């Protein structure tokens, strides 16, 4: 008995196109956006860690930002190849995700921007996060156009 999908199934890539289905566009994770987001997290958490150390009277508050750089930098370097391999494909029928998601265009209720990323919300309430997009607004417009039959 398992508590969820097998780990291998989470990284299988987008589904193949169905017969007669036409690829409209694809959206890959962007390396620059990935590292910019990492830098933003390092600054935020480094500042918070340094401030916390100051608040607790630690004489070495510089350790907080250094720890944030090391921890988040190493984590991001370790996960970069996986995160940057993510590709979403938009067809004339579906939005296909990097973990095998297949969302029929008619099931998409909304596409909302969240800190430069996009959240695709289905009519049943499921949410899918499209991360590290070079141009989230253009991607959203492309999905909305496909939903409206203007692909």
For tokens 């956006």, the residue is 33
Ordered domains of the chain (ranges, CATH)? 32-83 (no CATH), 87-151 (2.30.29.30)
Distance, C-alpha 115 to centroid of its chain? 10
- Between CA 68 and CA 49 the distance in angstroms is 8
Q: What pTM does this model have?
A: 0.80
d(CA 92, CA 29) in angstroms, rounded, equals 21
For residue 48 the two structure tokens come to: 């918070």
- Alpha-carbon span 86 to 110, nearest angstrom: 21
Nearest residue to 130 via CA among 87, 68, 71, 82? 87
* Cβ–Cβ < 8 Å for 92, 24: yes
pLDDT band at 13 (very low <50, low <70, confident <90, very high): low
pLDDT of residue 4: 43
CA distances from 130 to 3, 19, 97 (A): 24, 25, 8
Q: Any alpha helices (H) in the chain, and if so which ranges?
A: 31-55, 63-84, 136-147
What's the average model confidence in pLDDT over 99-112?
94
Q: How far apart are CA 126 and CA 119, in angstroms?
A: 10
Mean pLDDT throughout 18-36?
93
Report the SS3 class of residue 28.
Answer: strand
Average pLDDT over residues 6-13: 51
pLDDT, tens digit (0-9, with 9 covering 90-100), for 118-130: 999 999 999 999 9
Q: What is the pLDDT of residues 28-61, one digit of tens each?
A: 999 999 999 999 999 999 999 999 999 999 999 9
Give me the pLDDT at residue 5, please. Answer: 47
In this predicted structure, the answer to whether residue 3 has a pLDDT above a threshold of 70 is no
- pLDDT tens-digit map of 75-103: 999 999 999 999 999 999 999 999 889 99
**How does residue 7 score in pLDDT terms, banded at 50, 70 and 90?**
very low
């Amino acid at each position: 008995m398992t508590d969820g999908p097998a780990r291998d199934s989470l990284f299988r890539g987008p589904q193949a196109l169905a017969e007669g289905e036409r690829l409209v566009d694809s959206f890959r994770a962007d390396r620059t956006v990935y590292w910019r987001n990492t830098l933003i997290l390092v600054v935020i958490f480094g500042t918070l860690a340094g401030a916390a150390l100051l608040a607790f009277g630690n004489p070495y508050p510089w350790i907080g930002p250094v720890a944030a750089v090391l921890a988040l930098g190493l984590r991001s370097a370790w996960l970069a190849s996986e995160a940057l391999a993510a590709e979403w494909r938009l067809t004339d029928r579906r939005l296909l995700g990097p973990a095998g998601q297949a969302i029929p265009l008619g099931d998409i209720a909304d596409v909302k921007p969240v800190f430069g990323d996009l959240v695709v919300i289905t009519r049943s309430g499921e949410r899918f996060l499209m991360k590290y997009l070079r141009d989230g607004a253009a991607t959203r417009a492309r999905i909305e156009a496909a939903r409206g039959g203007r692909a």
